Structures are given as structure tokens and as C-alpha cells.
Structure 1
Amino acid sequence: MYDVIVVGGSFAGLSAAMQLARARQKVLVIDAGMPRNRFADEAHGFLGQDGRAPMAIMRDARCQLQRYSTVALLSGEAEAARTIGDGFAVELSGGSEHRAKRLILATGVADTLPPLEGMRERWGATVLHCPYCHGYEMRDLPLGVIAAHPLSAHQALLIPDWGPTTYFTQGQFEPEPPERDAFAARGITIERTPVVALLGDAPALDGVRLADGRFVAVGAVFTAPRTTPATPLAALLGCAHEEGPTGPYVKVDQWGATSIAGIWAAGDAATPLHNATLAAAAGVLAGIGAHQASVRANAA
């Protein structure tokens, strides 16, 4: 039996495993190899890693973890988990089962983009969700925000620092009067006719076509996809969830502890704020939290 199983091998999961490895815990990292950031060629705003491919960062992290004799890395999809007498059992899609005293769920989220022609093939390149992650690379281009939820107007207010901005309400998310005043101060154009298609040689973007046939030139668009947990593990284990602006996430305390004793969660699965640096930091906290829980249990 392992001390801790970490489900998820991206920034949060690997960061958690590193803390546990250094605490000489016996750790298994289960990774399905489908991180959310697999669509992005580069990671940005990540101290010391700016401009590197996310896969390269994770490859280096796995190599570093393999230097610790108490860590095992396993490629596979964790499709079920349950509580057992002395901890937890995680079942992989191939049928194998692995047990641990504690779990860290760093399983991430899945994105559901607005159902517009040409959007999926540009995701992570010229269709983006985080200006702090990708805005600088789009600087000085004409930019668009395709509204997808009530907080899209707040997102639009950020974007003019990277380029001239058009806010597409999609006929649903009209800015409130104070927001319209802020839009005017920031030079944001409001377009109320819905976008129906993204145009150009993907993944590049030349512009968008509106429902009335007009063309609006934009070099990139920001939007907020609907997010859902990438796996059902937290729900299967009974962990409480909260509803964020783009979808549900696992409810955790400041150390990543969930509502179920012995289970922690970290990264995009456990916060409405999705960012590589924040995911790595949450993984650190969850790893430390899981280790300190072990210390308390052994001292009791």
C-alpha cells in the first residue's frame, strides 16, 4: 500500500508528488496523459519556465521525480475509486487496482467551448481563455471577447491592455450600465450581432463572421469555456463541490483538503482560478497537507 496516490500528472499533481517524495513518502502518480494544456504550444507567466512547452516542463518534472526512490509513475486512466478500511482503492481502466492511505486528486477539468464553427481547431492558439497566460503573444492585434457567461464583461475589461478589443455579446450577455461606462473608458467596441463562425487558415485567425453576414477582423479571441471535472473520481468519493463562474469544482480548504477525510484536491479541479502557477502552488500545499496529516496520524 502506498502512503499517497496522486491522480493526475500535470503541474498540480507533479508538484504535490515532489513534496511527498522529499518527505520520503511512498507515492504513486497515475497519469492519463491528457492534460488540459496539451493544446498550447507554450506556457507563459510561469516563473523560470516562460515560453517552454507544457509537455517539456512536465517531462522534466517526471525525470526529477524519478530520482526519488519512493516514487512510482504509472501511465493509465483512473476510472473509479472507493473508500476501503485503511484508506482508498483506485481502479484503472485496464482493471488493475492500487491502494493508498491518502489520495490527492489533481485531475483537472475538461473544456466545453461555445458551439461555433472554427473554434475547436484554434483552441490554445488563437482561441484563448487566459490573457495572463497568452495575451502578450497576441499584443497589438485586434482582439475579441466572445461572451459565454455573465462575467465575460469583466474579462473584456482586461483585454485592451493587449490590443484593441471588441466585445461580442452573442445577444445574451449585455454589459450592465456601469460596465458600458467602463467599456467606453477602455475603448472597447460592443457588437451585439452574434458570431457564427471563425475564419482563416486554422490555427491562425483572420476574423469572425456575424449572423448578419458581416466580417469583423480579429487576430485572436478570448472566451470562457464551460468547465467540468475531467474525471468523476471526486464525486464517486463523495467530495463536496462548489459552483464557479464556468462550472463546478471540488471544495477544498487552504491546504487542499476536501470534505472527505484523507482526500486532497489541487489544480484546476479545485479552484475557479485556472493558471499554471496557481495549479503548481496548490499542488505544493496539497502535498504538504497530506504529509502533515500522516504525521498527525502517526503521532496520535
Structure 2
Amino acid sequence: MQDVIVIGGSYAGMAAALQLARARRKVLVIDAGQRRNRFASYSHGFLGQDGVDPARIWAEACRQLLAYPTVTWVEGSASTIAGGKDEFRVSTAAGDTFAGRRILLATGVADRLPDIPGLADRWGRTVFHCPYCHGYELDQGRIGVIATGAMSLHQAQLLPEWGEVTFLTNGALTLEPEQRDDLRSRGVAIEETPVARIAGEAEVELRDGRVLPFAGLFTATGTEPASPLAEAAGCELIETPMGRQIVTDETKETSLPGIFACGDVARAPHSVSLAVGDGAWAGAQLHRSLVWPE
């Protein structure tokens, strides 16, 4: 019987497991190896790790975590959660079953990218979603913002801090006169010709044949839990401007007693720093729930 089964061994999940390990609790981490930022070569904005390969950050964090003797790591995909508080059972796709008193969902999210040829191939390299993570490296060059919905306007308003911005509406939204005026007051150019494809490093080919070169592109992706586990177990989910996420209270407990959630799957906005902080808080709250069970 594990004290806590952590499903998802990326930044949030490991941060939570570390707090529990340091309280000498038995922790099992089940990880499918699908970090959200696996497409990026460098991670930025994370204090002490700025500019480091995210795979290297993950590997070092994993090494440190597994130095604690009460932590067990299983590579695989969790498929079902059964039982209830103090007697959960988690089964994996490989057919193994593990028992735990508490569950922590740290499965992360999957990005829903615009259906534009060439965009997915450049995701994490020259196409991004977070200016705080990737804007500085564009060296105040030309930036294209490809609209996907209402959140894209916010991106276009913010990104002039990092360079000269062109807002490509791409038929995803219709700008009101006051919104146009606001963008122009910030120096943002508005391009309404639909995007045909992305080529080169970050070249936008429009349907009228024009090609607009950029230092980098941004788009507001929609997100959804990377695993169906939370929904299948009956946890409440909510639709936010950034996508679907698991509902948690201030202790990171979901609508189901004994099941907690943290990281991108349970909060917005998203970054490595915020995921680590959220995971550390969740780990401490999980420990408290074991010390003072209701």
C-alpha cells in the first residue's frame, strides 16, 4: 500500500513527490514519458535553470527524487482508477495494479494546435504559446501572432513588449473597431488574409501568395487533459479560456475525496515554474491529508 500514487512524472508530479518523500512517505510515480515541453530544446524563465535543455532538467530532477528510498518509479501509462479514499487501486496499460491511500493526477495537458500545414512541425522551435518562455530569444525581431480565438487578442496586445507584431486573424475572430484601434495604438499590424502554410523557419505563406517572414510565431492553443483518467474517474472538469482543466480546491483536492491534481492539468496559466510551485504545494497538502484525515 502506497501513501500516494502520483500519475505523471513531469515537473509538477515530481515536485509533489519530493515533498512527500522528504516526509518519509511511500510514493509511487507512474510516468508515461510524455512531457509537454519535449518539443523544445531550451527551457526559459525557470529560476536556476534558464536556458537549459528541459530533458536535462527532468533527468536531474528524477535522479534527485529517486535518491529517496521510499520512492518507486514505474514507466507506463495508468489506465484506470478504482476504489476510494485510503483504498484506491490504479491499473496500468501493462496490466499491473497498485494500491494507494491517495491519488495525485499530474498528467499534464495536450495542446490543440491550429490546423495549418507546417505549424505542428515547428511547435516548440519557432512556434510558441508563452512569450515569457520564448519571447526574449527572438531578439526584438518580427513576431507573428496566429489567431485561434478570443485569447489571441490578448497575445497580440502583449507581444509588442518583445518585438514588432503582426496579428494574423486567419478567420478565427472578427475584430471590433475599438479592438483594432487598441492594437494599432500598440504598433500591431493587422493581417486578415488567411494563412495557407508555415514554411522555412517561421515564414507565413498567405493564401494570396504573399510570404511574411518572422523571427518567431505565437498562437494560443487550446488544451485538454493529456489523459482521460480524471474524467473517467468522475472528477469535475471545467472549461476555461485556455482549455479544459480539473477543478480543485485550495488544497489541490478534486471533487472526489482522496484524489488531488496539480500542474497544467489543474491550473492556468502554464509554465515550468508555475507547475513546480503547484506541485510542491500539492505534495504538502497531500501529506497534511494523511496526517489529519477527515
Tell me the TM-score normalized by structure 1: 0.95
Matched, 1:106 2:102: no
Deviation at 1:85, TM superposition (A): 7.1
* SS in structure 2 of the partner of residue 157 of structure 1: helix
Q: Distance in 2 between matches of 1:83 and 1:290?
A: 18
Deviation string, structure 1 residues 123-181 (Cα, Å, up to 9, x no partner): 00101000000111112221100000112111111111111000011123133333222
Matched, 1:290 2:286: yes
Q: Distance in 1 between matches of 2:12 and 2:86?
A: 25
Residue 221 of structure 1 aligns with which residue?
A: 217
Residue 15 of structure 1 aligns with which residue?
A: 15
CA contact (8 A) 2:4 2:102 kept: yes
Deviation string, structure 1 residues 199-218 (Cα, Å, up to 9, x no partner): 11xxx22x111112111121
Aligned equivalent of 1:266, options 259, 262, 265: 262
CA contact (8 A) 1:139 1:163 kept: yes
Pairing 1:123-138 to 2, within 5 Å after superposition: 123-138=123-138
Residue 277 of structure 1 aligns with which residue?
A: 273
* SS in structure 1 of the partner of residue 83 of structure 2: strand
Paired residue type of 2:126: T
CA contact (8 A) 2:84 2:258 kept: no
Cα distance change of structure 1 residues 85 and 295 upon mapping to structure 2, 3 Å threshold: closer
Pairing 1:154-193 to 2, within 5 Å after superposition: 154-193=154-193
Residue 196 of structure 1 aligns with which residue?
A: 196
More moved, 166-175 vs 90-99: 166-175
Paired residue type of 1:181: D
Residue 96 of structure 2 aligns with which residue?
A: 96
Paired residue type of 1:62: C
Deviation at 1:84, TM superposition (A): 4.4
Residue 41 of structure 1 aligns with which residue?
A: 41
Tell me the TM-score normalized by structure 2: 0.97
CA contact (8 A) 1:149 1:245 kept: no
Paired residue type of 2:263: G
Q: Distance in 2 between matches of 1:85 and 1:175?
A: 49
Residue 231 of structure 1 aligns with which residue?
A: 227
Deviation at 1:268, TM superposition (A): 0.8
Paired residue type of 1:230: A
Q: Distance in 2 between matches of 1:98 and 1:68?
A: 20
Q: Distance in 2 between matches of 1:219 and 1:174?
A: 26
Residue 246 of structure 1 aligns with which residue?
A: 242
Q: Distance in 1 between matches of 2:137 and 2:179?
A: 26
Instruction: Using the aligned pairs only, state the percent identity.
Output: 48
Deviation at 1:87, TM superposition (A): 2.3
Q: Structure 2: which 5+ runs fail to align? A: none
Q: Distance in 1 between matches of 2:290 and 2:53?
A: 35
Residue 116 of structure 2 aligns with which residue?
A: 116
Paired residue type of 1:65: L
Q: Structure 1: which 5+ runs fail to align? A: none
CA contact (8 A) 2:31 2:75 kept: yes
Paired residue type of 2:120: R
* SS in structure 2 of the partner of residue 151 of structure 1: helix
RMSD of aligned alpha carbons: 1.2
CA contact (8 A) 2:29 2:72 kept: yes
Paired residue type of 2:122: R
Matched, 1:148 2:148: yes
CA contact (8 A) 2:86 2:102 kept: no
Deviation string, structure 1 residues 28-73 (Cα, Å, up to 9, x no partner): 0111111111001111000111011111111111111122111111
More moved, 258-267 vs 77-86: 77-86
CA contact (8 A) 2:85 2:257 kept: no
Deviation string, structure 1 residues 72-119 (Cα, Å, up to 9, x no partner): 111111122122474211111110011100011000011121010110
Q: Distance in 2 between matches of 1:149 and 1:251?
A: 23
* SS in structure 2 of the partner of residue 56 of structure 1: helix
Q: Distance in 2 between matches of 1:227 and 1:146?
A: 16
Q: Distance in 2 between matches of 1:85 and 1:9?
A: 22
Q: Distance in 1 between matches of 2:17 and 2:84?
A: 22
